[in-house]
Structure 1
Amino acid sequence: MGDYVRFNLKGADELSARFKGLTEEIRRKVVLPAAKDAMDIVLLDAKDRAARIDDPETANFIPANLAMIERKAIGEEVGAVVISVGVRMRKRGQKGGNTFYWWWVELGTEKNRAKPFLRPALANNREALFKEFLSSAKYQLIKLGVN
């Protein structure tokens, strides 16, 4: 099972106060695009890191299979918006090919050392991710006309 990262946003008191007065539907309209904008930073960094690691001699290409998806079932379970960046499983012959081996690259094996590209993409961009989330959430509030 994947690692979960949970943070408490500090310095976002103004945004938090606005959120408490909103309906669940409006909150979702603000948080979902803001979370996608923020996680796009992680996605782009992960693609860059994977491109530097991936073997150019093979037909399969891990960066082409990296994607960002909303985890609705988990989000409903925890009562939040959950956005995930990971590697899609594709069939041979499709864009990027079948990169079933990506977790062996990320985590390593007993014979090959790990060459992580997803975990550092998140770890090195935490501050930028939260700044982007806050600015995007404020923009979404203004766009919806919420004071």
Structure 2
Amino acid sequence: MADEIQMHGLQELKATLKDLPDRLGAKVVRGALRASAQVIRKEAQARVPVLKEPDPRRKPGTVRKAVQVRRSKKDQYGVFVGVKPLGGKQLRDFKASGGKSQNNPDDPFYWIFLEFGTAKMPAAPFLRPAFETQHPAALRRFEEYAQQRVVKEAEKLAREKGMR
């Protein structure tokens, strides 16, 4: 004799599971990537050489403040740690006040000279070593963040579908 089992909510569960990958990609993966990139950003900021001698064309800490995590414009899930350049308006305003762009103390354009060196200056890399030393910690942070958010997003999606 076969027992009859009735399950309610299978259609809602199926719809929730179908929508879950889009939600995970859009929110969880991107958030986990940003969280893991923050680990590398903090290390890079700690490694940036800071101006020790006064210079009217530079402010101490300009490059350190400009190290940021940003989204890629080309890749939907891409994030990267880099030095954010000064905005166009800020450059135009400085030039309008009579200054030359290479003398702008707020512009971190010279970060590339620090990272890779020049013919007259040895390299003092900060981005590459930050990645090399912190990528295991960044991977752990990615896993932690993703584990926490997958559960939250699944519960939230279930509530929206009326399953809870």
Partner secondary structure for residue 86 of structure 1: strand
Counterpart AA for 1:89: P
Whose RCO is larger (CA < 8 A, sep 6+)?
A: 2
CA distance in structure 2 between the partners assigned to 1:103 and 1:89 by the alignment:
11
TM-score by length of 1: 0.72
For structure 2, which runs of at least 5 residues remain unmatched after alignment? 1-18, 95-104, 159-164
1:55 and 2:51 correspond: yes
Shift in Å, 1:143: 1.2
Instruction: Give the 4+ runs in structure 1 shifted more than 4 A.
Output: none
2: CA distance between counterparts of 1:64 and 1:133?
24
Shift of 1:28: 2.1
Task: State how many pairs are aligned.
Answer: 119
Q: Using the TM superposition, give the Cα deviation of residue 120 of structure 1 relative to its aligned residue in structure 2, in angstroms.
A: 0.6
Question: Alpha-carbon deviation of 1:89?
Answer: 1.3
Task: Give the residue type in structure 1 aligned to 2:128.
Answer: R
Q: How big is the alpha-carbon RMSD for the aligned residues of Structure 1 and Structure 2?
A: 2.3
Q: Deviations over 1:82-131 (max 9, x none)?
A: 111111111467xx711111101100011211000011111111110111
Within-5 A mapping of 1:54-133: 54-56=50-52, 57-58=54-55, 59-60=58-59, 61-71=62-72, 73-76=73-76, 81-90=77-86, 91=90, 97-133=106-142
- Counterpart of 2:5 in structure 1 is none
Determine helix, strand or coil for the equivalent of 1:30. Answer: helix
Identity score, percent: 24
- Pairwise CA distance, 1:22: 4.1
Give, in angstroms, the shift of residue 31 of structure 1: 0.4
Q: Which runs of 5+ in 1 are unaligned?
A: 1-20
Output the CA distance in 1 between the equivalents of 2:29 and 2:65. Answer: 27
